[in-house]
């Protein structure tokens, strides 16, 4: 076992604080790597504040992890010391169920996907995430970061990137398709960039016009404030696909009406409380509402390669670990352009 420095939450209300955790010895199939950068996802905040249910404290969040391999197990074939690698939201799954065999490990129906943090590893120990100096992960759950993507920019792709790439790909975003993205935050700004790179026509639906210049620079051709009721009348029946990346409850009926016949609204945000879905907004127009959870390992690699090829990278603000608690407050205030990434070298 090795001991590494980390930032942990000790309760739902206390700020995160510096501590140490242990990492398991490197097994035959394991890759150990020094973490260089870790993104701050809104899911980290939902989790540590117990908005998704009870949490076992202390908990070290972080599931957007990028670093450099320091040791590999005797049977590892995919990676060697010095490789640039990443880990996203999960570090294991049953490997046998239909979802795992299909490469959709995030939907594992065996043991369920084992979260990078707040899960339990095969050794029976709680998993701890990326706000830490190093991590040990089975090579099957480790991603290869293409040379064209810097390590700090790679980190947010491992959750925010794949979470938006997967539904865009699944629902065939591309030329001729009109896509709307609700919320221009960590997920939302990558959704815009990736959808544009796929060839779709993209509209941003944000609470205000404050970030309009950014949205258009990212490639959106239209940008509307949802605080303006005219948005909902003017855009009725406009979109093939809407990705909802908002972390809070919305009046879904208003947004469903923006879909064309047979259009789909995909729920990516996971607010604490349920939202109402009026039947009429679905029935008229044969519209669908769906959800999507991150993406499998193979698709995550495909997304990284796609981003490298198309020059897609997140816009990030790199911070020191002692700024994590302030960064959380700024994420909650939608005051981030557009992802905080922790420089772990200073941990
Ligand atoms: P984020 O950076 O905080 O972005 C969320 C955006 O939602 C904000 O920037 C803001 O955009 C908008 N927003 C926030 N509060 C709002 C409110 N009260 N009303 C309307 N709009 C509001 O968060 P994130 O990291 O992108 O994560 C977004 C959500 O996705 C979280 O719930 C997270 O847990 C979830 N998530 C899901 C998956 C998955 O696999 N499905 C993966 C990762 C994250 P504007 O300022 O532009 O309005
Ligand atoms: Zn996340
Ligand atoms: Zn499985």
50 lines ligand 1 (CB under 6 A): no
Distant-in-sequence, close-in-space partners of 236: CB < 8 Å, separation ≥ 6: 257, 258
CA angle 183, 189, 190 (to 5 degrees): 125
Rg (CA), the chain: 20
What integer is the mean pLDDT of 81-100?
Answer: 98
- What are the backbone angles phi and psi of residue 223, rounded to the nearest 5°? -145, 120
Residue 54's pLDDT is what?
87
User: Rounded mean pLDDT of the chain?
Assistant: 97
- Claim: this prediction has a pTM higher than 0.85: yes
User: How far is it, in rounded angstroms, from Cα 188 to Cα 98?
Assistant: 30
What distance in Å separates the CA atoms of residue 25 and residue 162, rounded to the nearest whole number? Answer: 29
Q: Is 159 in the pocket of ligand 1 (CB under 6 A)?
A: yes
pLDDT given at position 227: 98
Instruction: Please give the average per-residue pLDDT across 214-242, as a whole number.
Output: 98
183 CB within 6 A, ligand 1: yes
- Residue-wise DSSP of 99-141: HHHTT-GGG-SSS--EESSSSB-TTSPBP--SSBSEEEEEGGG
- Residue 26: CB atoms within 10 Å: 17
What is the distance in A from the centroid of ligand 2 to the CA of 280? 32
Beta strands in 13-93 (DSSP E): 17-23, 30-39, 65-72, 84-87, 90-92
What is the pLDDT at residue 243? 98
Q: Tell me which of 183, 214, 337, 340 to substitute to probe ligand 1's pocket, judged by most ligand atoms within 8 Å of the beta carbon.
A: 183
Residue 224 Cβ < 6 Å to ligand 1: no
Share of the chain above pLDDT 70, in %: 100
Question: Per-residue pLDDT tens for 239-288?
Answer: 999 999 999 999 999 999 999 999 999 999 999 999 999 999 999 999 99
User: What's the whole-number mean pLDDT along residues 110-133?
Assistant: 97
Is residue 59 predicted with pLDDT exceeding 90? yes
In this prediction, residue 205 carries a pLDDT of 98
């Amino acid at each position: 076992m090795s001991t590494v420095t980390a930032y942990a939450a000790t309760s739902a209300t206390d700020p995160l604080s510096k501590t140490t955790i242990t990492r398991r010895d490197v097994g035959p199939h394991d890759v150990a790597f020094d973490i260089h950068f870790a993104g701050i996802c809104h899911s980290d905040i939902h989790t540590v504040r117990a908005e998704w249910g009870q949490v076992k404290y202390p908990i070290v969040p972080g599931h957007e992890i990028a670093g450099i391999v320091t040791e590999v197990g005797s049977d590892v074939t995919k990676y060697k010391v010095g490789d640039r690698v990443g880990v996203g939201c999960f570090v294991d799954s049953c490997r046998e169920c239909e979802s795992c065999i299909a490469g959709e490990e995030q939907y594992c129906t065996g043991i369920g996907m084992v979260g990078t943090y707040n899960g339990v590893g095969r050794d029976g120990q709680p998993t701890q995430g990326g706000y830490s100096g190093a991590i040990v992960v089975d090579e099957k759950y480790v991603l290869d970061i293409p040379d064209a993507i810097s390590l700090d920019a790679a980190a947010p792709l491992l959750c925010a990137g794949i979470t938006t790439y997967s539904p865009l790909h699944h629902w065939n975003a591309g030329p001729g398709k009109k896509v709307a993205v609700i919320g221009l935050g960590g997920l939302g700004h990558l959704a815009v960039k990736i959808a544009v790179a796929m060839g779709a026509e993209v509209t941003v639906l944000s609470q205000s016009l404050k970030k309009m210049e950014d949205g258009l620079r990212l490639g959106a051709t239209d940008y509307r404030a949802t605080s303006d009721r005219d948005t909902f009348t003017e855009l009725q029946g406009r979109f093939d696909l809407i990705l909802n990346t908002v972390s809070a409850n919305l009046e879904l009926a208003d947004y469903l009406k923006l879909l064309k016949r047979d259009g789909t609204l995909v729920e990516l945000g996971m607010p604490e409380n349920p939202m109402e879905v009026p039947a009429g907004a679905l029935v008229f127009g044969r519209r669908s509402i769906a959800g999507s959870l991150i993406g499998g390992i193979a698709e995550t690699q495909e997304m990284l390669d796609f981003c490298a090829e198309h020059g897609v990278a997140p816009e990030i603000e790199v911070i020191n670990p002692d700024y994590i608690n302030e960064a959380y407050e700024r994420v909650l205030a939608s005051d981030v352009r557009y992802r905080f990434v922790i420089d772990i070298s200073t941990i």
